[in-house]
Amino acid sequence: MLAIGACGATAASVAEPTHDPDVRALLPDGATQIVLVRPAELYATVASGTILRALASDAQLEALRVQHGIDLRTLERAAYASYESPISGGDVIILQGPFRAEVAVAEIAHRMIPVESREEAPRSRAGGMLRGTRIDAIALGAHTLAIVIGPPTLTGRVIRAAEGSTPPAIAGAVQQALGRYAEPFVATRPVPFALPDDTPVGRLLSEEESMVIAVAPSDTAELHVTADLSGGFPPSAEENFRQLVTSLARSTLGTALGLRTALGTLTVEATPSRVLLHATLDANEVAHGLEVLFRAEIAEMLVDAPIDGDPTPPSDMTN
């Protein structure tokens, strides 16, 4: 989000359709967390739109669009991956939609303390410090922007993934797991939680290997959420997971996010190698809880965007 708030200028916006690479192929292997979203679809759907606008109002998003040229509400696809390597650890954000990536890279270069900024056919690239954080911005297609928050070694891995010379994060078992879900928000942790085994939760997840969460918003106020865990689970897994979710729902955080209300819709299916949990959440409850918890932090990330009030841009940026 830090990088998103610094991207582009008004000139970056375009109306033409995108025909760029699949964002899923642009994340290098080794990710410990992956999120795939279709932002335009999420904003256009009532339940998810309610939640997103609770976090960042249309006034903020419009100010961001005017000032930086990238409208988060129109992005066709976006991806995020986190890497924990001591050598190339960091975060990768991929944005794809109706904006010009090379213009966005040039504008980011103007906002950072430059380390390097160069044209490398067929892509533009800029790197430097932005708000105290090392950032690289790379145009991976005409309408595809990669933001790397981390060392240049991670940027190199992203470029090699785009070139097809290093394996992507979404391949093999990860690709198979994600392929089960077509929802506009899908997240996965493709590695074990590795929790201490001296707690009930740690023992329950001691042989867990990966997890996928998929969210299907509706045009009412419902969010249909699925959690899909793979690995090894005890015979009592169904009851244990039901108790775990109930405990989480009754916590302060769970209550704030509407989990307590969702308990009546909870279903748990367990086999020795897989656990599926389904629940339906009230989007209004989730939106209120997230707004209370995180809106101030998100407003800070959206650089120069007002928390509330008049989204009218400065007079010299209206044309």
What 8-state DSSP symbol labels residue 314? P
pLDDT at residue number 3: 41
Q: What are phi and psi of 211, to 5 degrees?
A: -145, 140
pTM of the model: 0.85
Q: Do 242 and 211 share a structural domain?
A: yes
Q: Do 130 and 269 share a structural domain?
A: no
Alpha carbon dihedral 287, 39, 173, 177, in 10-degree steps, equals: 50
Give the tens place of pLDDT for each residue, 29-85. 999 999 999 999 999 999 999 999 988 888 888 887 776 678 999 999 999 999 998
Q: Is residue 161 part of a domain?
A: yes
Residue 223 domain boundaries = 172-284
Distance between CA 273 and CA 27 in Å, rounded?
27
Give the tens place of pLDDT for each residue, 139-167. 999 999 999 999 999 999 999 999 999 99
Q: Do 274 and 211 share a structural domain?
A: yes
* Model confidence at 122: pLDDT above 70: no
* Model confidence at 249: pLDDT above 60: yes
Q: Do 177 and 123 share a structural domain?
A: no
* Model confidence at 1: pLDDT above 50: no
pLDDT at residue number 34: 98
Q: Do 98 and 11 share a structural domain?
A: yes
Q: Is residue 197 part of a domain?
A: yes
Number of structural domains (the chain) is: 2
Q: Do 131 and 10 share a structural domain?
A: yes
Q: Do 28 and 114 share a structural domain?
A: yes
Q: Do 155 and 86 share a structural domain?
A: yes
Q: Which of 138-152, 239-253, 274-288, 303-317 has the lowest mean pLDDT?
A: 303-317
Q: Is residue 314 part of a domain?
A: no
Q: Sheet holding 207-217: strands in order across?
A: 113-120, 123-130, 133-141, 144-149, 90-96, 77-83, 33-37, 185-189, 207-217, 222-232, 274-282, 267-271
Q: Do 246 and 148 share a structural domain?
A: no
Q: Do 91 and 225 share a structural domain?
A: no
